[in-house]
Structure formats: structure tokens, C-alpha cells
């Protein structure tokens, strides 16, 4: 049986890495006494499948993890988010859990885009607005990035799905951005670099991940409030 | 409550591994500070990854926070990238628990387990905002203390420290808090108390050494005659502290579970403290006597509760020689069985019927389908087949590598160092290991030991070659890793009088082994940098003149000297020269019996004449049996403090010449001078 968990990563714990979070989950699942299936072979590992990596330092309201349980396990899904959150360190919280049917594509393949809230410092709203409009108007945006230690040139324009600058209540500009995730996608830090001279990245938070299903866009697991309404 | 977090937070995205600085571990505490509580900032002078697992620091952290008169938080050395930015932004050293600046604490207490961290200690005191020299500190500055194995010779760092603690910290940490609580309350109330009042209060606690209250006395040639107290509050001899019953201290109760990867990232349960195997090079075995076992039932409880609380799937049973723990098979057996779960019917398909010899294919080690979810690691194992039997019990699935430490290349050499492992013990152990599925052996050796000849050094190559040969009977490509460290003589060991091998001599010996093993496929040689060994040797037995050297190296940027990418011998050589000191005098020369040693005013409980006799026995190649199961040699560690061994089993474990073995007479151990155990003569 496969469980899909949606979780958030907020506050100081955002400075842990993707690998750190994987280890934290392994311990949390043992603390919560969930019988996780293990790989066979010389050095058995728990069968956990993580979604897209979140860069160290970024927050998120929408991280995902698939967990394979030992066949025949019976779990009470209603209490699971709370039980898992209690087993996680502060700042990490399980916000929704559901079973996923066999054959569901892996998170890594299914997620096509993420929505981000990116704080942009040192530029005013008018400037950021003008520059985002210019980016969206460009037919292509060929940028040079590093891939496996080598410089690679990609057109990243297809990854700019939506850009919405708005005044930030505290400081600078809050740029809401939906960025493509497949074929390397585009990272928020790369987006800030595209904004050009003077732009400095502040706090970054992922708010959604999206999959395409029969032409409609949906989240791998609905946000918690939607789940509550359904139940 | 003040916090550096608002300033630190924007810096963290710019530095490597920022999770090292955020705290928030399971088991971390958020203590309530107050004027009636002595606030300790417990410090490890290396990175978070190295320092966090330190059990001594974690034990004190809990014990102090349980007291009504103390609070404790933790700090670790910020890596160079963060330190640079902290200095640029004016951020002081901070606790990872609440991100309080160091100046909000009363005591900055270091755990010192390696000499090469001394420059980090100075750097952290400076980053904490206190003058690096104790003599320059004022009433409101931090009291800087240190404990840990290095403090058995604290003289090189005495100038930086207000107080030093010798021995087990469980009881003395509370006594120090009590001694300082009244002083702090008076200071906070504005009463006329002085820093000297705090120092004399500390000097009144048994086990605490206050360097400022002592003065080295030298003769006309500048040679040390003695280190004498210059204040009535200071005792002539500072005695170490020893916890008599480990069962009364089941700590840490809430081992910290880090959010990011650290060394020894697992549950650690200390099964006993102290070791009386009597290896003459080993400072830990000398200064932590006598042997005090934790009750087996308490070990089982600490393991079970610790695993449940932390979510770890690995536990290490720690000690200086875990196979010597009474009833170790029962304890590890119980842990392994508790972690097992029945294999579902469809698992283990395609496995053979579990022949323990059939694991050459790399997949599905013996019993893989029934593998325990819990793995047990036993650091510091003896070299014998009995030990391999225990390893087989606990490592049913992942049989990758086993580590043995014969330390010396020939039986003669091992008699000198009193590590009484015969060649046959080693060959029996590896035969047993290879035959049960292990394929990689790691062997630890020392070079530069007293009386060592090139024959002894080359004996290392012979042993390694023979181990590979044994491996070939069982596997196609057995591999043996030989790790060689340069020997550094330590205070309070029989080898404290021995002149350390020069850097050139250590390099030559490593070269001998490289040449000898060049053509041997299957043997990988690794060695500790002789340049680092040399600097360790300078610190290990150095005196107060070295403070200027350490400070000089730090001022020239020499931090993180434990890290090969930062270690810089030239900084040390230049600093020594500027101070008019030589490596020859500090490390390379032999010391004489009548010579005053810089740590003579401190005591690890060991009689100096016992150590001297053991040194003579070493030179005469005379071995000495373990006193835990044989008559007392009167080393002083028990009798001097009115304590004794706490060992559940009255007889030594079976197997090998280190235990009683099936036929102890078969091993030609020359037993000398002191009472000879019945049946061994």
C-alpha cells in the first residue's frame, strides 16, 4: 500500500537540506511505528519516494512524499497527519495523507510546475513589473546554467508559466511565480537572476505543486482545507 | 531575552551547511535563565558535525538543566565562511539552542578531546567577546573552563582558561554550579565580589584546577622544577573525579537527534567506563580507571527507550573495549531480537537455504530475509575469534567490513605496548570473519612506538599480506586496509617519558611500508599525516610557554587544524621560532625519571612509580595482565580514591590470549614483577 503525504517546511528548519529531510522522515516514520516496506538485498532501505527537491533555505507549504507500507497494513488515515507531525521536528508538519492507487505516476514525473512566493529585495514594484513583463514578452530566453559541472545553454522561457509581482507588506516586492518543473525547470534563484541588475533574492516559499491530469491541473494531494471539506 | 537570530538569519543562506547553526534537535532544551542560575555555554571547539554527538557534552547539558541553580546551552565552532561573516557583521558566538549571544552566559565550558583544536578554543573565546587570556578578563567577562581527556595536561592552554576539570563530569559540574551560584547572585545584586572570589570558590571544588592560582618554578637553566600553588585556596595536588557507580547516571536520557548529518549519527549507549587492558600507549585506558560497568538491565532499558524515542535504527554500545562487557552476547542478542520482525512469506524468495558461506555474490547476505531492523555497532573490539562471533550475531545482513587494532606489527612490539594479541589471535579472527562472509578488513597500527625497529614496522606489511592470503581461501578479491598513525606519547601513561619519533623518522617508516606493500594487490595503506602528529606531540606534553605559540598560530589564521585542508605546519614552526622554542625540546627528547613534568601537580590517581615501573617493563618487553580479573598491581586508581572495579563477571571472556583463552600457557607472555595470577605461571 502506498501513502502520499503532503507536508510543510517552515521557519528555522528550512535550512536543512533535501537529504536531511529524507533522514528526518525515516526516523519520524519509525517513531510513529508505521511499518514501512523495505528494499530487498544487501542493505535494505525503507521504500520512500520523494518529490521534487526543495533547495536548502526555501520554505514550503506543499512538499510531497510517497511511502510504501508493508502489505496488509491497516492505518487510520484520519489521525495520521497529527501522529506524523508529532514525530517530526518543529517546523515540519504533515498536512494531508491519502492512499494512492497502484500505477499512479511517481511524484518526480507527475509534477509539471510549482508556484512560488519569491521576495525580491532592492528593486521597487514598478521596476520588477516592467522587467517581468519584458521576460514574458520575450520569444525565448536562452541562459547558460551549470549541469553536472558543465555550462549548458537552455531556453528557459517555456518554464515561465505565470509571473505576478505585488507589493510586499514588509519590504520590497513579492513575486508570485509559477515555474515549470520538468526538464530541469527553472529555480526561483534563476528567476531572480533573470530580473537583472540589482535584484536580490529574499525569502522564498513554495505554495503549490501541480500535476496535469487529462488536461486539467491539480495538486498531488488537495490542500488540507479541501480535504476537510471532502470528508 | 536577547537573540542573534535576526542578524544571523539573513547570513545563513550564504554559508555552507546552514543547518549546523539552527538547533531545534529532538532533545534540545529551551532553558529559563535567571539571576539565581549559573548559565553555562557548553562548547565543542570543532564543527557541529563533529561536536554534536559528543556524549560528555550531552550528559552535562542534561544534568545541568535538571538543576535548579543552573542552565546550559550548546555552541560549536562556526565554519570559516560563517565566522568571517559573523566578524564582519559583529555577530558574537551564540548558542544553537536559543541563539543567545555568549556574553549572556556566565561560563563558557569546552570539551577538549584533541590537541589540534586548541586554536579553535582561542578563536571561540575571542568570538564570544572575552579577552583570550584569562588574566585580562574582568568581573563581567565569561569564566572559561575546560574538561575532557586533553585537560590532563592543560598547561599549553592554561593561560586561556579560568578553570579546568579533571575526570568524570557528572558530579563535579553540579558542584561547580553550586560554588558559583552564590557568587553570581552577589555579583548581579551589585555586592562587592571579585573575579578572584570566583576562582578561589572554584579551586575549592575537588577535581577543579585553577591555573591562575599556580606558578611554574624553574631552575637557572629555565627547566621546570615544579608547578606550585600561590594561593591558600589552591591544593598542592589536584585530583581527578571518578563516578563510582555508572548505574546512578543513566545519561544522556534524551540523546540529541540532529536535523542534519553528523558523525556517529546513531543512538549511543555507554556500557562501561574505564579499561584495564593496560595498553601502554593508551591514555584513555590509564586515566579512566577503574572499570565501571553499567548494569546490563539498564543498558537494555536505555537501548529500548532510546530507539523508541529517537527513531534511530542503529545503536552503538560504547566503551573502550565493548567485547569485555560482562555478558555482552546476551545484551546484543536481546537488542537484535527485539528489532526483528517476522519475514512475510513472499520475502526472501530466491535466497538459498541460508548457507553462511555463500555470500560471494554480494546480494542477500546470510539471513537477509530475516534481517533485523536494528543494527548494533560495537566500536573498539578486541582482536579474537570470540569477538567475531559476537559480530556475527549482530550483523546478520550487512557483512561488509570489520576493523581490528593490533597496533604493533610484531609480537615483540605488542609486548612492549602491552597489547597482548598473538599473530594467531589475529589470523584466527580474520579466518573466522572471512569464513562468515566479511570481505573487507581494516587493521589499525601505530608507528613510532618505543624500541620499534624496522623489523617491527615491516611486520605490519607481513601481517597485512598474511591476512589477504587467508582471505583468498574464502573470496576472490579480499581487501585489507591498513591505517597507520604516528604515535604521540601522552601524559599519565608509561610512555610519557618517551621521546616522540621525529617527523622525518615517521615519514621514513611510512615510506618503508609504502615500498613494502607497493606490489601487494588487496592491501591499501593509509596513514595519518606525520606533520599533524608532530604538532599533536608538541601540545600533548607541552608546558605554559606554548600558550604564546597557540595564540600566534590563531592570530595568523590557523584555525581548524584538525582538518587537512586547513592544517599548516609552517604556521606552527614559525610560531615556535618566534617564541624561541624547538620541537626537539618539546616533543622529540626522552624525559628522565627525576625530571619535573608539566602535569605533576595534577593527578589521574596513578602512582608515578607505577607508571615508571611499567615503562621499565615495556623496555624489558614484559607484559602485564588485566587487573580486573587478576590481583591488583596497585596503580593507585582504585586504592587512592577508595573505589573499585564494577564488573559483573568474575572471569574474563573466553577466546584469544587477551581473555583466559582455552590454553593461556600456549601464549608466551612473560609476566613480571607483580603478583602472577594463579594458573598463568
Each residue of B62-86: pLDDT tens digit? 999 999 999 999 999 999 999 999 9
Task: Report the distance separating Cα A199 and Cα A195, nearest Å.
Answer: 6
Per-residue pLDDT tens digits for A143-191: 988 888 889 899 999 999 999 999 988 778 999 999 999 888 999 999 9
Report the pLDDT value the prediction gives residue B286, as an integer from 0 to 100: 97
Q: What is the CA radius of gyration of chain A?
A: 19
Which of B22, B310, B344 shows the shortest C-beta gap to A71?
B344
Enclosing H/E stretch for B602: strand B602-603
Q: Chain A to chain B, count of Cβ pairs less than 8 Å apart? A: 77
Answer whether residue B341 shows pLDDT above 60: no
Report chain B residues whose CB lies below 8 A from the CB of A20.
Answer: 19, 259-261
| CA A199 to chain CA centroid, nearest Å | 23
Chain B interface, best mutation among A18, A20, A33, A40, by max B CB count within 10 A: A40
Report the pLDDT value the prediction gives residue B379, as an integer from 0 to 100: 77
Report in angstroms the alpha-carbon separations of B518 from B65, B305, B399, B505, B527.
55, 49, 28, 20, 14
Answer whether residue A81 shows pLDDT above 80: yes
- Summarize the confidence of residues A120-127 as an average pLDDT: 94
Is the bond leading into B486 cis (omega within 30 degrees of zero)? no
Nearest-CA distance B361 → chain A (Å): 10
Report the pLDDT value the prediction gives residue B394, as an integer from 0 to 100: 72
Chain B interface, best mutation among A15, A28, A43, by max B CB count within 10 A: A15
Q: Are A158 and A135 in contact (CB under 8 A)?
A: no
Q: HEC string of B642-656?
A: CCCCECCCCCCCCCC
Task: Report the distance separating Cα B322 and Cα B335, nearest Å.
Answer: 15
For chain A, what percent of residues have pLDDT higher than 70?
A: 96
With cut-offs at 50, 70 and 90, classify the pLDDT of residue B654. low
Report in angstroms the alpha-carbon separations of B415 from B49, B422, B504, B669.
37, 10, 26, 8
- Cell (9 digits) for B525: 595503506
For chain B, what percent of residues have pLDDT higher than 90?
A: 78
> Judging by beta carbons within 10 Å of its beta carbon (0-12, 13-18, 19+), is residue B653 exposed, middle or buried?
buried
Answer whether residue B367 shows pLDDT above 80: no
Q: At what angle do helices B385-394 and B328-339 cross, to 10 degrees?
A: 20
- Summarize the confidence of residues B126-147 as an average pLDDT: 98
Report the pLDDT value the prediction gives residue A171, as an integer from 0 to 100: 78
Answer whether residue A129 shows pLDDT above 50: yes
Report the pLDDT value the prediction gives residue A224, as an integer from 0 to 100: 65
Report chain B residues whose CB lies below 8 A from the CB of A26.
Answer: 311, 313
Q: Is B371 on the interface with A (CB under 8 A)?
A: yes
Q: What are phi and psi of B460, to 5 degrees?
A: -60, -45
Percent helix, strand, coil in chain B (nearest 5)?
Answer: 40, 15, 50
Q: Are B243 and B289 in contact (CB under 8 A)?
A: no
- Summarize the confidence of residues A77-87 as an average pLDDT: 96
Per-residue pLDDT tens digits for B630-648: 888 889 999 888 998 999 8
With cut-offs at 50, 70 and 90, classify the pLDDT of residue B362. very low
Report chain A residues whose CB lies below 8 A from the CB of B341.
Answer: 35
- Cell (9 digits) for A132: 517581468
Task: Report the distance separating Cα B45 and Cα B539, nearest Å.
Answer: 16
Buried-exposed string A58-90: b where 16+ CB fall within 10 A, e elsewhere: bbbbbbbbbbbbeeeeebeeeebbebbbebbbe
Answer whether residue A55 shows pLDDT above 80: yes
Answer whether residue B306 shows pLDDT above 60: yes
Q: Please name the residue of chain B whose CA is at the shortest distance from the CA of residue A89.
A: B26
Q: Is B479 on the interface with A (CB under 8 A)?
A: no
Q: Is B256 on the interface with A (CB under 8 A)?
A: no
Q: Is B78 on the interface with A (CB under 8 A)?
A: no
The total of other beta-carbon atoms located within 10 Å of residue A216's CB is: 7
Report chain A residues whose CB lies below 8 A from the CB of B13.
Answer: 15, 57
Which of A23, A40, A89 shows the shortest C-beta gap to B261?
A23
Nearest-CA distance A21 → chain B (Å): 8
Which of A15, A44, A91 shows the shortest C-beta gap to B371?
A44
Q: Are B569 and B603 in contact (CB under 8 A)?
A: no
With cut-offs at 50, 70 and 90, classify the pLDDT of residue B392. confident
Nearest-CA distance A56 → chain B (Å): 8
Q: Is A27 on the interface with B (CB under 8 A)?
A: yes
ipTM score for this prediction: 0.92
Contact A28 B23 (CB under 8 A): no
Contact A30 B257 (CB under 8 A): no
Report the pLDDT value the prediction gives residue B679, as an integer from 0 to 100: 37
When the pLDDT of each residue in chain B is averaged and rounded to a whole number, the result is 89
- B224 DSSP β-pair partners: B218
Q: Of the given ranges (A18-27, A37-46, B165-174, B671-680), which has the lowest mean pLDDT?
A: B671-680
Q: Please name the residue of chain A whose CA is at the shortest distance from the CA of residue B6.
A: A12
B502: CB partners within 8 A, 6+ apart: B534, B583, B588
Is the bond leading into B389 cis (omega within 30 degrees of zero)? no
Which of B22, B344, B365 shows the shortest C-beta gap to A15?
B22
- Summarize the confidence of residues B360-382 as an average pLDDT: 51
- Summarize the confidence of residues B198-220 as an average pLDDT: 97
Q: Which residue has the cell 537573540?
A: B3
With cut-offs at 50, 70 and 90, classify the pLDDT of residue B656. low
- Summarize the confidence of residues B426-432 as an average pLDDT: 92
Report chain A residues whose CB lies below 8 A from the CB of B78.
Answer: none
With cut-offs at 50, 70 and 90, classify the pLDDT of residue B365. very low
- A5 DSSP β-pair partners: A65, A97
Answer whether residue B500 shows pLDDT above 90: yes
- Summarize the confidence of residues B129-144 as an average pLDDT: 97
Answer whether residue B360 shows pLDDT above 90: no
Which of B259, B341, B371 shows the shortest C-beta gap to A20?
B259
In sequence order, which ranges of B395-529 are alpha helices (DSSP H)?
411-416, 423-435, 454-472, 503-517
Report the pLDDT value the prediction gives residue B397, as an integer from 0 to 100: 56
Q: Is A18 on the interface with B (CB under 8 A)?
A: no
- Cell (9 digits) for B196: 578572584
Which A residues in the span 48-77 are in contact with B, Cβ-Cβ below 8 Å?
56-57, 70-71
Q: Of the given ranges (B150-159, B215-224, B348-357, B638-647), which has the lowest mean pLDDT?
A: B348-357
Q: Is B259 on the interface with A (CB under 8 A)?
A: yes
Report the pLDDT value the prediction gives residue B658, as an integer from 0 to 100: 56
Contact B19 A15 (CB under 8 A): yes
Nearest-CA distance B475 → chain A (Å): 17
Q: Is B18 on the interface with A (CB under 8 A)?
A: yes
Q: Is B257 on the interface with A (CB under 8 A)?
A: yes
With cut-offs at 50, 70 and 90, classify the pLDDT of residue A214. confident
Q: Is A30 on the interface with B (CB under 8 A)?
A: yes
With cut-offs at 50, 70 and 90, classify the pLDDT of residue B409. very high
Which tops the pLDDT comparison, B285 or B669?
B285
Which of B22, B260, B311 shows the shortest C-beta gap to A31?
B311
Enclosing H/E stretch for B537: helix B530-540
Task: Report the distance separating Cα B58 and Cα B561, nearest Å.
Answer: 24
Report the pLDDT value the prediction gives residue B359, as an integer from 0 to 100: 21
Task: Report the distance separating Cα B531 and Cα B510, nearest Å.
Answer: 12
Report chain A residues whose CB lies below 8 A from the CB of B347.
Answer: 40
Nearest-CA distance A131 → chain B (Å): 25
- B87 DSSP β-pair partners: none
Amino acid at each position: 500500500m502506498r501513502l502520499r503525504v503532503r507536508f510543510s517546511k517552515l521557519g528555522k528548519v528550512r535550512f536543512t537540506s533535501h537529504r536531511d529531510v529524507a533522514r528526518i522522515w525515516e526516523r519520524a516514520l519509525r517513531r510513529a511505528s508505521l511499518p514501512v516496506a523495505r528494499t530487498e538485498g544487501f542493505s535494505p532501505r525503507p521504500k520512500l519516494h520523494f518529490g521534487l527537491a526543495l533547495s536548502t533555505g526555501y520554505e514550503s507549504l506543499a512538499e510531497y512524499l510517497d511511502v510504501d507500507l508493508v502489505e496488509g497494513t491497516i492505518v487510520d488515515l484520519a489521525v495520521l497527519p497529527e501522529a506524523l507531525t508529532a514525530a517530526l521536528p518543529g517546523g515540519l508538519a504533515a498536512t494531508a495523507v491519502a492512499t494512492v492507487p497502484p500505477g499512479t505516476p511517481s511524484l518526480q514525473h507527475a509534477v509539471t510546475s510549482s508556484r512560488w512566493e519569491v521576495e525580491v529585495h532592492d528593486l521597487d514594484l514598478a521596476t520588477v513589473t516592467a522587467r517581468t513583463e519584458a521576460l514574458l514578452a520575450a520569444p525565448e530566453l536562452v541562459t547558460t546554467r551549470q549541469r553536472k559541472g558543465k555550462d549548458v545553454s537552455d531556453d528557459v522561457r517555456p518554464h515561465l508559466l505565470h509571473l505576478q509581482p505585488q507589493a510586499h507588506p514588509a519590504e520590497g516586492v513579492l513575486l508570485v511565480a509559477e515555474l515549470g518543473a520538468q526538464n530541469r525547470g527553472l529555480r526561483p534563484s534563476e528567476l531572480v537572476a533573470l530580473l537583472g541588475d540589482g535584484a536580490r533574492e529574499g525569502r522564498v516559499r513554495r505554495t503549490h505543486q501541480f500535476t496535469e491530469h487529462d488536461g486539467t491541473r491539480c495538486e498531488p494531494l488537495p490542500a488540507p482545507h479541501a480535504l476537510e471539506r471532502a470528508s | 531575552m536577547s537573540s542573534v537570530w535576526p542578524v544571523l538569519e539573513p547570513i545563513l543562506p550564504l554559508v555552507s551547511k546552514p543547518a549546523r547553526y539552527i538547533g531545534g534537535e529532538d532533545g534540545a532544551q529551551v532553558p529559563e535563565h535567571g539571576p539565581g542560575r549559573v548559565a553555562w555555554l557548553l562548547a565543542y571547539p570543532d564543527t557541529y558535525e563533529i561536536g554534536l554527538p559528543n556524549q560528555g557534552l550531552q550528559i552535562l547539558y542534561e544534568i545541568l538543566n535538571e538543576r535548579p541553580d543552573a542552565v546550559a546551552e550548546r555552541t560549536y565552532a562556526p565554519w570559516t565562511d560563517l565566522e568571517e561573516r559573523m566578524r564582519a557583521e559583529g555577530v558574537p558566538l551564540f548558542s544553537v539552542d536559543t541563539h543567545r549571544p555568549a556574553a549572556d552566559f556566565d561560563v563558557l565550558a569546552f570539551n577538549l578531546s584533541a590537541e589540534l583544536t586548541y586554536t579553535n578554543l582561542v578563536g571561540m573565546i575571542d568570538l564570544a567577546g572575552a579577552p583570550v587570556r584569562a588574566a585580562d578578563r574582568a568581573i563581567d567577562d565569561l569564566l572559561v573552563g575546560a574538561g575532557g581527556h586533553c585537560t590532563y595536561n592543560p598547561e599549553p592552554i592554561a593561560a586561556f582558561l579560568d578553570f579546568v576539570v579533571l575526570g568524570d563530569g557528572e558530579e563535579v559540574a553540579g558542584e561547580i554550579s553550586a560554588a558559583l551560584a552564590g557568587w553570581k547572585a552577589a555579583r548581579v545584586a551589585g555586592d562587592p565580589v571579585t573575579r578572584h572570589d570566583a576562582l578561589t570558590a572554584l579551586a575549592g571544588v575537588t577535581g577543579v584546577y585553577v591555573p591562575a592560582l599556580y606558578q611554574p618554578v624553574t631552575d637557572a637553566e629555565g627547566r621546570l622544577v615544579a608547578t606550585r600553588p600561590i594561593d591558600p585556596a589552591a591544593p598542592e595536588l589536584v585530583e581527578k573525579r571518578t563516578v563510582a557507580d555508572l548505574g546512578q547516571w543513566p545519561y544522556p536520557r534524551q540523546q540529541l537527534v540532529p536535523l542534519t548529518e553528523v558523525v556517529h549519527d546513531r543512538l549511543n549507549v555507554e556500557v562501561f567506563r574505564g579499561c584495564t587492558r593496560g595498553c601502554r600507549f593508551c591514555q584513555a585506558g590509564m586515566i579512566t580507571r577503574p572499570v565501571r560497568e553499567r548494569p546490563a538491565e539498564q543498558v537494555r532499558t536505555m537501548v529500548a527507550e532510546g530507539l523508541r524515542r529517537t527513531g534511530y535504527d542503529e545503536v552503538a554500545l560504547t566503551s573502550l573495549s565493548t567485547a569485555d562487557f560482562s555478558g555482552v552476547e546476551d545484551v546484543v542478542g536481546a537488542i537484535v531480537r527485539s528489532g526483528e520482525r517476522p519475514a512475510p512469506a513472499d520475502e526472501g524468495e530466491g535466497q538459498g537455504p541460508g548457507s553462511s558461506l555463500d555470500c560471494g555474490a554480494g546480494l542477500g547476505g546470510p539471513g537477509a530475509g530475516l534481517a533485523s531492523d536494528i543494527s548494533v555497532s560495537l566500536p573498539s573490539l578486541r582482536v579474537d575469534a570470540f569477538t567475531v562471533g559476537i559480530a556475527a550475531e549482530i550483523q546478520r545482513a550487512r557483512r561488509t567490513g570489520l576493523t581490528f587494532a593490533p597496533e604493533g606489527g610484531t609480537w615483540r612490539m605488542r609486548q612492549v605496548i602491552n597489547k597482548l594479541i598473538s599473530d594467531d589471535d589475529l589470523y584466527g579472527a580474520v579466518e573466522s570473519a572471512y569464513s562468515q562472509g566479511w570481505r573487507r578488513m581494516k587493521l589499525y597500527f601505530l608507528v613510532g612506538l618505543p624500541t620499534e625497529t624496522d623489523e617491527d614496522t615491516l611486520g605490519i606489511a607481513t601481517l597485512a599480506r598474511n591476512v589477504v592470503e587467508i582471505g583468498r581461501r574464502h573470496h576472490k578479491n579480499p581487501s585489507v586496509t591498513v591505517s597507520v598513525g604516528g604515535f604521540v606519547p601522552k601524559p599519565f601513561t608509561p610512555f610519557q617519558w618517551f621521546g616522540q619519533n621525529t617527523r622525518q623518522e615517521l615519514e621514513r617508516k611510512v615510506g618503508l611500508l609504502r615500498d613494502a606493500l607497493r606490489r601487494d594487490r588487496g592491501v591499501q595503506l593509509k596513514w595519518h599525516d606525520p606533520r599533524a602528529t608532530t604538532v599533536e606531540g608538541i601540545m600533548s606534553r607541552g608546558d605554559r610557554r606554548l600558550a604564546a605559540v597557540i595564540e600566534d598560530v590563531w592570530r595568523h589564521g590557523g584555525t581548524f587544524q584538525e582538518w587537512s585542508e586547513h592544517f599548516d605546519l609552517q604556521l606552527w614552526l614559525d610560531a615556535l621560532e618566534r617564541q624561541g622554542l624547538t620541537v626537539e625540546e618539546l616533543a622529540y627528547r626522552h624525559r628522565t625519571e627525576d625530571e619535573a613534568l608539566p602535569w605533576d601537580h595534577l593527578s589521574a590517581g596513578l602512582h608515578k612509580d607505577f607508571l615508571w615501573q611499567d615503562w621499565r617493563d615495556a623496555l624489558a618487553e614484559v607484559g602485564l595482565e588485566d587487573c580486573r580479573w587478576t590481583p591488583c598491581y596497585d596503580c593507585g586508581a582504585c586504592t587512592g580514591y577508595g573505589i573499585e572495579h564494577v564488573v559483573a563477571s568474575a572471569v574474563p571472556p573466553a577466546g584469544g590470549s587477551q581473555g583466559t583463552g582455552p590454553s593461556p600457557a600456549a601464549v608466551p607472555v612473560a609476566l613480571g614483577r607483580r603478583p602472577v595470577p594463579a594458573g598463568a605461571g
